[in-house]
Every structure is written in structure tokens, then in C-alpha cells.
């Protein structure tokens, strides 16, 4: 591939990876929140995994073409270690952080059967941090960031994730409010009985 081909490939795969990562986070929020859907739960979870895998593939090609492009020297270490490259240091570091977090999510998913469920959930939450890192990386370093079409695309991505997160927060709030009082705190009669028993 020529240098110009690598440049176009880097741009295209970076934008595609961002859109797929947005879809992954969006679907992940809806699946975790048990959003009503015509698809069964297993089908939604499978779709989430497949889009995640596609995002990783495009991200890998994005990283590879960035490294092979001889126009700038990024360096292999900068793929996994933030702030080691002198080229757009801060913006590139955000992309590196997003990649590292996504790798942690991906590895924990592969090893899900071998790690505690609580640890897997905590690691999976890193996806919510990798996504904004990728968005800011695209805005700060992407050569197309000055164009209205990319700004509009990123705005749609941001609105989608924000809307899904707001929906899940509202659903969680309603679920907490609907719990019986005895789950939230013991009834007064139970507290009084327990205090009398302790005083005997």
C-alpha cells in the first residue's frame, strides 16, 4: 500500500471503529438494562458480542495502518503505553488509553468462565471509559474533525450513548422506588421487636 492508501485506511478504519464501539456501548447498556425488544435476550447479547468483535478488528487495522504510515513516526510502544510518542502526544495518548481499556474488557470477556462474576463486571465497566477516550481522540487527532459531517456523526454517537445511559438510570431509579419498604429498611415494628429482644 502507498502512503496515501495507508492514510485513507487509517481514517476510514478509525471512524468505523468509533461507530462500532458506539454501537457496542449502546447495545451493552440496553442489554444490561433489559430493554424491551422483539429479539430474545440471547440474540441481543450475541449481537452485542459480534459488533464488539468487529470493532476490535477495525481498531486493530486502524492501529496497524497508523504504524505502517511513514509520514509520521508513532512507534510500537505508543500503541499500549500512553505519552511515549512525540506526535500529538496528548491526543494519541487518549487513543492509547481507550485501546488499553478495551483490551482489558476483551480479555476479561474471553476469560469470563475463569474469573469471578464481580471482577468481570468491574472490568466490563471499563468500556464506558474507553468510549469517551476514543471520541476525544477522534476529535483531537482526526484529520476530518474539522468537517461538519464528522462532527455530526460524533454528535449522533454521543447522543445515542447518553440517551441509553439516561434511560438505564431512569429504569434503575424506578426499580429502586418500587421495592417493598421492608427491602429498603426494616419496618418499625421489627426494629422495636429487635430492640426489646436485645434488652432482655
**Span of 7-16, 86-95, 190-199 with lowest mean pLDDT:** 190-199
8-state DSSP, 88: T
pLDDT at 198: 53
- From the list 22, 13, 1, the residue with the least C-alpha distance to 158 is 22
Q: What is the mean pLDDT of residues 104-133?
A: 86
For 138-195, the three-class secondary structure string (H helix, E strand, C coil) is HHHHCCCCCCHHHHHHHHHHHHHHHHHHHHHHHHHHHHHHCCCHHHHCCCHHHHHHHH
Give backbone dihedrals phi and psi of 39, rounded to 5 degrees, phi first. Answer: -85, 140
For residues 41 and 31, the answer to whether their CB atoms sit within 8 Å is: yes
- Decide if pLDDT at 189 tops 70: no
pLDDT at 48: 87
- Exposure of 99 in the CB half-sphere (CA atoms within 13 A): 24
CA distance linking residue 121 with residue 67, whole number of Å: 32
For 154-186, how does the pLDDT look when each residue is reduced to its tens digit (9 = 90+)?
999 999 999 999 998 888 777 777 766 555 555
Cβ partners under 8 Å of residue 169, min gap 6: none
Tell which wins on pLDDT, 181 or 89.
89
CA distance linking residue 90 with residue 86, whole number of Å: 9
Where residue 195 falls among pLDDT bands split at 50, 70, 90?
low
Amino acid at each position: 500500500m502507498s502512503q496515501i492508501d495507508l492514510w485513507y485506511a487509517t481514517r476510514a478504519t478509525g471512524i468505523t471503529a468509533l461507530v462500532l464501539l458506539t454501537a457496542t456501548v449502546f447495545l451493552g447498556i440496553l442489554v444490561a438494562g433489559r430493554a424491551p425488544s422483539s429479539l430474545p435476550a440471547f440474540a441481543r447479547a450475541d449481537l452485542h458480542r459480534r459488533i464488539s468483535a468487529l470493532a476490535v478488528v477495525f481498531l486493530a487495522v486502524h492501529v496497524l495502518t497508523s504504524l505502517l504510515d511513514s509520514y509520521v513516526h508513532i512507534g510500537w510502544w505508543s500503541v499500549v503505553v500512553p505519552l511515549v510518542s512525540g506526535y500529538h502526544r496528548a491526543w494519541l495518548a487518549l487513543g492509547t488509553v481507550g485501546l488499553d481499556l478495551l483490551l482489558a474488557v476483551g480479555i476479561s470477556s474471553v476469560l469470563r468462565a475463569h474469573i469471578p462474576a464481580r471482577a468481570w463486571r468491574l472490568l466490563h465497566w471499563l468500556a464506558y471509559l474507553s468510549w469517551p477516550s476514543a471520541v476525544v481522540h477522534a476529535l483531537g487527532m482526526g484529520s476530518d474533525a474539522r468537517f461538519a459531517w464528522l462532527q455530526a456523526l460524533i454528535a449522533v454517537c454521543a447522543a445515542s450513548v447518553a440517551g441509553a445511559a439516561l434511560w438505564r438510570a431512569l429504569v434503575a431509579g424506578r426499580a429502586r422506588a418500587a421495592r417493598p419498604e421492608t427491602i429498603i429498611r426494616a419496618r418499625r415494628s421489627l426494629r422495636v421487636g429487635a430492640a426489646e429482644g436485645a434488652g432482655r
